[in-house]
Amino acid sequence: MKKLFVITLALIVMATSGFAMRGSSGHVNILYWQAPSILNPYLSGGTKEIEAASLIIEPLARYDESGNMVPWLAESIPTTENGGVSDDLKTITWKIRDGLVWSDGSSFTSADVVFTHEYCTHPEGGCAQGQKFEDVVSVEALDDLTVKVTFSIEKPFPYGPFVGAQSPIIQKAQFEDCLGTAAPGCTDQNFMPIGTGPYVVTEFRPNDVISLEANANYRDSAKPGFATVTFKGGGDATAAGRAVLETGEFDYAWNLQLAPQVLQQMSEAGKGQVISAFGTAVERIMVNMTDPSPERGEERSTRAHPHPFLSDINVRKALSLAIDRNILNEIGYGITGKPTCNVVPAPAIYASTANEGCLVQDMDMANQILDEAGWVKGSDGVREKDGMRLSILYQTSTNAVRQDFQALIKQWWSEIGVETELRNLDASVFFGGDPGSPDTFQKFFADVEMYTNIFDGTDPEPYFNLWKCGREPSPENGWQGGNIPRYCDEGYDANLSELSKTGDLNRRIELSKALNDQLMQEYIMIPLIHRGRVSAHSNSLGGVVLNPWDSELWNIADWYRQ
Amino acid sequence: MFNYTIRRTLLAIPTLFFISLVLFLLLDLAPGDPTAQLPLTIPPEVREKIRLALGLGEPFHIRFLLWLEQFFINEPLHLLTELTGVDFSGDRQRVISWQSRSPVMDIVVQRLPQTLWVVGMSYVIGTIIALPIGIISAYRQYSWFDQIGTFVSMVGFSIPTFFTGVLLIVIFSVHLGWFPSIYDTTHVVTDWSSLIVQIKQMIMPTMVLALYNAAQISRFMRASMLDNLNQDYVRTARAKGLRENVVLLVHVLRNSMIPVVTVIAIGVPTVFGGAIITEQVFKVNGLGQLLITAIQANDIPMVQTLTFIFAVLIVLFNLLADILYGILDPRIRYE
C-alpha cells in the first residue's frame, strides 16, 4: 500500500514537473566500515551513529560544505540583526518551517523541539550530546512553530542546541516514555526513530546493516532521488575503498584514511573517485609543560613542577623547526592532508597567516637556537645543559601513519641533538580516559604526544577554551580536562574571556587569530597536518557534496544516479 | 555410563560459574573505557554521565550479581515468554549491550544464521574433504597423492585466513568479478536465482575456512589411520582373506575414527564462536565480528555474554566428545 502511494505520488510529480521524481534513481549502497550500533545520536556520540541517523532525523539548522549555517527545519537562521538573537546575547528564537510533518504523518511542532532538550538533559539519561545544551536554562515553545532557547550566560555564538548532525530533533510522541533511565529500554525507538529526513528505516541490524526507504512524507515531493538505501557496516577502510573503487559493488564509502599510494592505485581501476574536504582536524604534537618524570609521584605531570627542559621556549621552537611537514604529508596523507602551521586552520575566516614560516624545515636555525640557548652537544651527540639531557619520550596511539611520523621525527630530532624514545599505545587505552590507566593522553606521562583533535561546528571558541588555565587534567579532577599541554597564561585567558563576551564577528575573528598565534608562537603545540575527510563514490553516483562540517550524508536527498 | 554423564554434567556447573567469574574479573580489570571510541569533542563530564548511565558507578560484586541474574534468570524467562506467549518475564531487565542499548541475546540470534551458514558450512565441507584425503594419504603413504595432500594441508594450516581471504577477493572479485567481496546479510533465499546469489556470496569465505579446517582434520585422520594400519588385527583380517575394501573401510576406518570424531566434536564450538578474521574480511558480520567490535568498543555485557556462551559450548562439546568416545569404543566405559 505504501509502495503504491509512493508510485502514485511519483507519477503525479512526474506529470507536473516532467523531471526528477522521488525514488527515480532506484537503489543506492553506502558502506561505512565502522558499523552503526544505534540510530539515536543522543545515546552514542560516535561519528558512525551520528551520520547514519542523519538520514532519518534532522536538526533545525546545519552547516553546508563551506561551513556556512543553513536553515534546515527552521525558516531562517536567527541573528541579532533579524531579532532572532536578543541584544543581551542570552536568548535565541527559532521559527520552524510551516507545514512540516514527521514520517508517520503527524505534524512537527515546537513541542518536539522542547522535548528533545528535555530528553538530552535528563540527569539520568547519560546523553552523549550534553555539551550541545551547555548553559541552556530553558527551552520554551512560544507557539506551535516558535521555540525560544534561554542561556544562563551571554552566548555570542548561540548555535549549539539543535544545530548540526549531533543534535537533531526527535519526536516527542515516540520518545515520551524513554526519558532518563528508561532510555536504553526503548530499543524500537532507538533503532527506528521517526524523523523528518529523506529516509525511514525498514530494518536495523546493530553493527551490521540498515535498510531504508524514501520517506513518503518528505517535505520536497521530488526528493529523495533514491527510493531505497542499504547502509552496510563492517570490515576495514581498505576493503571499503576496494568495494567502491575496484569492484564497484558499493556506491559510497566513508572515511578512507589510507596511504596515498593505496588510494591512487585503487582509483586507477576507473570505477569511482576519491573525494576529500577539509574541516578542522589537525594532527599535532602536544608539548608537556610539566614534569612527567615518575620521581614526581602524585605530582607527576601536574603544574606543581614545570618541565625541566620543555619549559624553555627555545627547545620547543627548535623541535618545531626540525620537522619537514611536507615530507610527512607526502608519506602519510597525500591529497587527504596538507601541512599546517595553525591549530585552527579552518574555517578560512579564522585561519591565521602569521605562522607560515614553519612550513620550511630549518635544521641550521634549529641547531643555532639550541646552541645560543646553551644546550651543548655531548660526546654521544645529545645536547645537555646543567646535567639535563634533551631526551624525549614521544607517545601516540598505534596506527601505521603515526608510527611512520614518529620514526621520521625521531630522525630529524636526532640531527639537532635531541634523543627520542618512541612509544605507541592502543587507541582504546590512549583515548580511553580511564583514570586508573597511566597510558591515557590526558595523564600525559610523556614529554610530547601526538594525536588529532577537531572542534564541532565552525566556532572555535570552545576549542580555545580547552587550553584555559585550570582546565588541565590532574589528580584533583580525576585526570579530566582538555588542557593537555598544561598551559597557563594570563594574556591568553584575558583574550579568551573577551572572546566569550564579544558578539561582533570581526572582533571574534581577530581574537581567535590572536589566541591561535599565541599558542603557535609559544610552541605549546606543534601542528603538523591539516587532515581532510576522505571518501569515495562510484562514477555513476551524482550529487555528492562532501561536507566536513556536518554529516557526510547531509544532502543525500539530492543524490541521484547518472 | 549414565552415572558418568550425570557426574560430568553436575561438575560442569561450578566450572562454568568459575569461568563466568574469571571472565567478568578479566574484563573489569583490563584497561579500557566504553566511551573511548567517542570523538574527543565530547567533554569528560558528559563521558562520566554516560558511564554512570551504563551502570559503571556500581561496585564490582553488584554488577557481577546483576549480570548473573540477568543471564541465568531473566533471559531464560524472556525466552519462555517468547516461546509460549505467556508473560513470565514481566519487566525484568535483560542483558543490555552498551553499544546498541538493546538486548544482547536478540543481536546474537540475529547473527546466528550467517555464522552457521558460512562458518558451519565451511566446517562441514572441510570435514567432508578431509576424511577421504586423510584415508587415502595414509593408505598410500609417501605416494604423490600423499605428498600433495601434505603440501596442501601445510599451506592451509600455515597461511593465515586474512591473507588467503584478501587474495581470493583480489582474484575473484576485483579481477574476474565473479563473486561479491561483501556478504549481504539481508539476502533472503526464496527461489533458484536467489539461492545462486547466496552460494556466490558464501563461496569465498566458506572455502577460505574450509581449507583451514580440512588441513587440520586431514592430518589427524592420516595419523590415526597410519597407527591402525600397522596393527596385528589388520594383518589377521587380511590373512583371513577379507577384501581390501572391507579391511580398510570397515576395520581400520572404524577404529581410526575414534580420536578423529572427538577432534571434530571439540572443534564444533569454534563454529559458533565465528571466525573473527574471515568474517571481518568478507564483511559477513556474524558472531565473530560481533565479538571483536564489542571488544573494541569495551561493550562489557556483550563480551561477557558472548565469551560465556562460547565457554558453555566448549564445556558441552567436550562432554559430548567424551561420551561419543565411549559409544564408539566399547572397551572404554567410564564407570
In the predicted structure, residue B327 carries a pLDDT above the cut 80: no
Is there a domain that residue B20 lies in? Answer: no
- A280 to chain B, any CB pair closer than 8 A? The answer is no
Cis peptide before A339 (omega within 30 of 0): no
Contact A46/B101, CB-based, under 8 Å? Answer: no
Q: Shortest CB distance from B101 goes to which of A187, A208, A246? A: A187
Contact B182 A232 (CB under 8 A): yes
Within 10 A of A439 (CB to CB), how many other CB atoms are there? 17
B296 touches A: beta carbon within 8 Å = yes
CA distance B75 to B185: 25
| The CATH fold of domain A278-456+525-532 | Dipeptide-binding Protein; domain 3 (3.10.105)
pLDDT given at position A3: 53
Over residues B118-145, the mean pLDDT reads 91
The rounded distance, in Å, linking the Cα atoms of A328 and A451 is: 14
Q: Which A residues in the span 106-165 are in contact with B, Cβ-Cβ below 8 Å?
A: 124-131
Q: How confident is the model at residue B334 (pLDDT cuts 50, 70, 90)?
A: low
- Burial annotation A10-22 (CB, 10 A radius, 16+ → b, else e): beebeeeeeebbb
Phi, psi angles (nearest 5°) of residue B268: -60, -40
A203 and chain B: CB distance < 8 Å anywhere? yes
Lowest mean pLDDT among A17-31, A197-211, A449-463: A17-31
A228 forms bridges with which residues in the sheet? A27, A213
In chain A, whose CA is at the least distance from the CA of B52? A126
Cell of A514: 590572536
Question: Is some CB atom of chain A closer than 8 A to the CB atom of B26?
Answer: no
Residues of A in contact with B96 (CB under 8 A): 184-185
* Residue in this structure with the C-alpha cell 528535555, named with its chain if needed: A118
Strands A146-151 and A136-143: antiparallel
**pLDDT of A4 over the 80 cut:** no
Condensed to tens digits (0 to 9), the pLDDT of residues A206-219 reads 888 999 999 999 99
Going by C-alpha positions, the residue among A393, A400, A35 that lies closest to residue A240 is A35
Number of other CB atoms surrounding residue A179 within 10 Å: 15
Of A382, A402, A400, whose CA–CA distance to A392 is shortest? A382
Q: What is the pLDDT of residue B318?
A: 87
Contacts of B285 in chain A (CB under 8 A): 35, 205, 207-209, 233-234
- Closest approach of chain B CAs to the CA of A144, in angstroms? 31
B283 touches chain A (CB under 8 A): yes
Residues 297-326 of B with CB under 8 A from A: 297-298
Number of Cβ within 10 Å of residue A135's Cβ equals: 14
Residue B130 lies in a domain: yes
Peptide bond into A168 cis (omega under 30): no
Residues 178-217 of B with CB under 8 A from A: 180-182, 184-186
Residue A405: name the closest of A501, A304, A527 by CA: A527
Cα angle: A256, vertex A262, A265; to 5 degrees: 115
Instruction: Give chain B positions within 8 Å (CB) of A124.
Output: 52-53
Q: How much is the pLDDT for A18?
A: 39
Q: What is the pLDDT of residues B54-71, one digit of tens each?
A: 777 788 888 888 888 888
| CB-CB contact of A198 with A58 (8 Å) | no
Sign of the C-alpha dihedral, residues A102, A104, A107, A113?
A: negative
CB contact under 8 A, B290 and A243: no
Which residues in chain A are contacts of B185 at CB distance < 8 A? Answer: 205, 208-209
Question: In chain A, what percentage of residues exceed pLDDT 90?
Answer: 59
Q: Does A251 have pLDDT greater than 80?
A: yes
Per-window interface: A 19-48 vs B, CB < 8 A:
31, 35, 37-38, 40, 43-47
Residue among B291, B103, B37, B52 at smallest CA distance from A44 = B37
Inter-chain residue contact A35 with B293, CB threshold 8 Å: yes
Contact across the interface for B177 and A439, Cβ inside 8 Å: no
Measured between CA atoms, the residue of chain B closest to residue A270 is B174
Per-window interface: A 339-368 vs B, CB < 8 A:
none
The Cα A98–Cα A110 span in angstroms is 11
Say whether pLDDT at A2 is over 60.
no
Other C-beta atoms within 10 Å of A456: how many?
A: 24
pLDDT digits (tens, 9 = 90+) for B217-251: 999 999 999 998 888 988 898 899 889 888 888 88
pLDDT at A259 over 80: yes
CB A393 within 8 A of CB A287: no
CB A212 within 8 A of CB A229: yes
CA distance B252 to B218: 16
**Does the beta-carbon distance from A432 to B39 stay under 8 Å?**
no
> Which residues have C-beta within 8 Å of that of residue A22, sequence separation ≥ 6?
A6, A9, A10, A13, A214, A218, A221, A222, A223, A224, A225, A227
Residues of A in contact with B39 (CB under 8 A): 45-47, 454
pLDDT per position as a tens digit, B287-314: 988 998 888 888 888 999 999 999 998 8
Q: Which of residues 114-153 of B touch A (CB under 8 A)?
A: none
Whether residue B91 lies inside any domain: the answer is: no
In a domain, B165, yes or no: yes
What is the C-alpha separation between B162 and A23, in angstroms, rounded?
39
- Under 8 Å CB pairs connecting chains A and B tally to 183
Amino acid, res. A248: G
**What domain count does chain B have?**
1
Return the minimum-mean-pLDDT range out of A9-23, A541-555, B120-134.
A9-23
Full-model pTM: 0.82
Q: Is the dihedral of CA A334, A339, A345, A348 positive or negative?
A: negative
Does the pLDDT value for residue A16 go beyond 60?
A: no
In a domain, residue B53? The reply is: no
Report the CATH number at residue B320: 1.10.3720.10
CB A47 within 8 A of CB A61: no
Task: Please report residues of A whose CB lies closer than 8 A to that of B173.
Answer: 242, 246-247, 249
What is the rounded average pLDDT of the residues A283-297?
93
Residue B257 domain flag = yes
**What CA–CA distance (Å, rounded) separates A484 from A287?**
8
Lowest mean pLDDT: which of A250-254, A289-293, B75-79, B166-170? B75-79
Amino acid A15: pLDDT? 43
Please give the grid coordinates belonging to residue B259: 580420536
Domain with B130 in it = 110-328
Task: Quote the ipTM score.
Answer: 0.82
Judged by a CB distance cut-off of 8 A, whether residue B97 touches chain A is: yes
Q: Do B149 and B236 contact (CB within 8 A), yes or no?
A: no
Of B38, B41, B296, the CB nearest to A456: B41
Burial of B304 (0-12, 13-18, 19+ CB in 10 A): buried
Give a yes or no: residue B84 inside a domain: no
Least CB–CB distance from A239: residue in B32, B45, B181: B181
Confidence category of residue B274, pLDDT binned at 50, 70, 90: low
What is d(CA A106, CA A96) in angstroms, rounded to the nearest whole number?
15
Q: Is A234 on the interface with B (CB under 8 A)?
A: yes
- Is B182 in Cβ contact with A250 (below 8 Å)? yes
pLDDT of A10 strictly over 60:
no
Are the CB atoms for A179 and B256 separated by under 8 Å? no
- Rounded to the nearest integer, the mean pLDDT of chain A is 89
Give CA–CA dist B68/A317, Å, rounded.
57
The sign of the dihedral angle between the CA atoms of B93, B99, B103, B104 is: negative
Q: What is the 3-state secondary structure (H, E, C) of A475-496?
A: HHHCCCCCCCCCCCCHHHHHHH
Cα–Cα distance measured from residue A6 to residue B268, given in angstroms and rounded to the nearest whole number: 48
- Is the CB of residue A262 less than 8 Å from the CB of residue A400? no
Q: Which residues of A touch B66 (CB under 8 A)?
A: none
CA distance linking residue B245 with residue B238, whole number of Å: 10
Confirm whether B89 is domain-assigned: no
Report DSSP letters for A233-302, one per residue.
E-S-HHHHHHHHHTS---SEE------HHHHHHHHTTSSEEEEEEEEEEEEEEEE--B---GGGGGGTTS
Report CA A200 to chain centroid distance, whole Å: 26
Q: Per-residue pLDDT for A328 more than 90? A: yes
Give the bridge partners for A533, in sequence order.
Answer: A277
Higher pLDDT pick, B43 / B256: B256
Instruction: Please answer whether residues A158 and A167 qualify as being in contact, where contact means their C-beta atoms are separated by less than 8 angstroms.
Output: no
DSSP for A403-463 reads HHHHHHHHHHHHHTT-EEEEEEE-HHHHTT--TT-TTSTTT--SSEEEEEE--SSS--HHH
pLDDT in tens, A394-419: 999 988 889 999 999 999 999 999 99
Which chain A positions have a beta carbon within 8 Å of B174's beta carbon? 242, 246-247, 269
Which residues of chain A are within 8 Å of residue B298 when distances are taken between CB atoms? Answer: 428, 432
Average pLDDT over residues A283-301: 92
% of chain A surpassing 70 pLDDT: 96
